[in-house]
Amino acid sequence: MNKTIAKVKNGIHGTIVIPGDKSVSHRSLMISALCDGQTVHVKNFLRSADCLSTLEAIRALGVTVKENEDNSLDITGVGLQGLQEPQTIVDAGDSGTLLRLMMGLLAAQPFLTTFTGDAALHKRPMGRVIKPLEMMGAKIVGRKDNTLLPITILPNEKKNFHGITYEMPVASAQVKSAILLAALTAGVEVKIIEPVPSRNHTECMMRAFGINVETNGNEVVFHPAERLQGPKTIEVPGDISSAAFWLVAGSIIPNSSIVLKNVGVNPSRTGILDVLRDMGADIVETNRYESGGEAIADIHVKSAKLHGTAFGKDIMPRLIDEIPIIAVAALFAEGETKITGAEELRVKETDRLHAIAEEFNKLAPAITELEDGLIIKGGLPLKNSEAFSYDDHRIAMALAIAGAAGEGVEISHPECVNISYPEFYDTLSNVQI
Ligand X SMILES: O=C(O)C1=C[C@@H](OP(=O)(O)O)[C@@H](O)[C@H](O)C1
Q: How far apart are the first and last CA of the chain?
A: 26
- Binding site annotation covers 124? yes
* Binding residue (CB under 6 A) for ligand X from 18, 23, 178, 397: 23
Q: Does 269 bind ligand PEP (CB under 6 A)?
A: no
Spatial distance between the Cα atoms of 348 and 50, rounded to a whole number of angstroms: 14
The alpha carbon of 430 is separated from its chain's Cα centroid by a whole number of angstroms, namely 25
Name the residue number minimizing CB distance to ligand PEP: 96
Q: List binders of ligand X among 330-359 (CB under 6 A).
A: 344
**Closest distance of CB 400 from ligand PEP, Å:** 16
CB atoms within 10 A of CB 41: 17
Q: Judged by CB, which is closer to ligand X: 103, or 409?
A: 103
Phi and psi, residue 142, nearest 5°: -150, 165
- Binding site annotation covers 239? no
Q: List binders of ligand PEP among 343-372 (CB under 6 A).
A: 348-349
Q: Does 199 bind ligand X (CB under 6 A)?
A: yes
**Closest distance of CB 92 from ligand X, Å:** 13
The residues with which 258 forms a beta bridge, in sequence order, are: 14, 301
- The amino acid present at 66, given as its one-letter code, is K
Nearest to 88 by CA among 64, 115, 62, 107: 115
Spatial distance between the Cα atoms of 330 and 374, rounded to a whole number of angstroms: 10
* Binding residue (CB under 6 A) for ligand PEP from 420, 421, 428, 431: 420
- Binding site annotation covers 288? no
Q: Does 44 bind ligand PEP (CB under 6 A)?
A: no
The residues with which 140 forms a beta bridge, in sequence order, are: 153
Please tell me the total number of residues recorded for the chain in this structure: 433
| Cα dist from 24 to 19, 234, 236, 272, 397, whole Å | 12, 10, 6, 18, 21
- Binding site annotation covers 87? no
- Binding site annotation covers 321? yes
426 a catalytic residue: no
3-state secondary structure of 256: coil
Q: Does 318 bind ligand PEP (CB under 6 A)?
A: no
Spatial distance between the Cα atoms of 247 and 359, rounded to a whole number of angstroms: 21
Binding mask 143-182 for ligand X (x = CB under 6 A): -----------------------------xxx--x-----
Name which of ligand PEP, ligand X, none residue 199 binds, using a CB cut-off of 5 to 8 Å depending on partner kind: ligand X
Which residue among the candidates 50, 321, 391, 392 is catalytic per the annotation? 321
- Binding site annotation covers 318? no
Spatial distance between the Cα atoms of 394 and 321, rounded to a whole number of angstroms: 8
Query: Taking phi first (over 0 means left), then psi (-120 to 50 degrees means alpha), and beta for anything else, what does residue 32 get?
Result: alpha
The alpha carbon of 166 is separated from its chain's Cα centroid by a whole number of angstroms, namely 23
Spatial distance between the Cα atoms of 405 and 12, rounded to a whole number of angstroms: 10
**Closest distance of CB 94 from ligand PEP, Å:** 6
3 and 425 in contact (C-beta within 8 Å)? Answer: yes
- R_g of the chain computed on alpha carbons: 21
Spatial distance between the Cα atoms of 29 and 20, rounded to a whole number of angstroms: 13
Q: List binders of ligand PEP among 63-102 (CB under 6 A).
A: 94-97
Q: Does 128 bind ligand PEP (CB under 6 A)?
A: no
**Closest distance of CB 72 from ligand PEP, Å:** 22
Question: Which residues, including other chains, have CB under 8 Å from residue 232's CB and lie 6 or more apart?
Answer: 40, 41
**Closest distance of CB 105 from ligand X, Å:** 13
Name which of ligand PEP, ligand X, none residue 420 binds, using a CB cut-off of 5 to 8 Å depending on partner kind: ligand PEP
- Binding site annotation covers 84? no
Q: Which residues bind ligand X (CB under 6 A)?
A: 23, 96-97, 172-174, 177, 199, 320-321, 344
Residues annotated in a binding site: 22-23, 27, 96, 124, 172, 174, 321, 348, 352, 394
Which residues define the annotated binding site for phosphoenolpyruvate?
22, 96, 124, 174, 352, 394
Question: Can you say which residues are annotated as belonging to the binding site for 3-phosphoshikimate?
Answer: 22-23, 27, 172, 174, 321, 348
Instruction: Report the interface residues with ligand PEP, using CB under 6 A.
Output: 94-97, 321, 348-349, 394, 420
Q: Tell me the catalytic residues.
A: 321
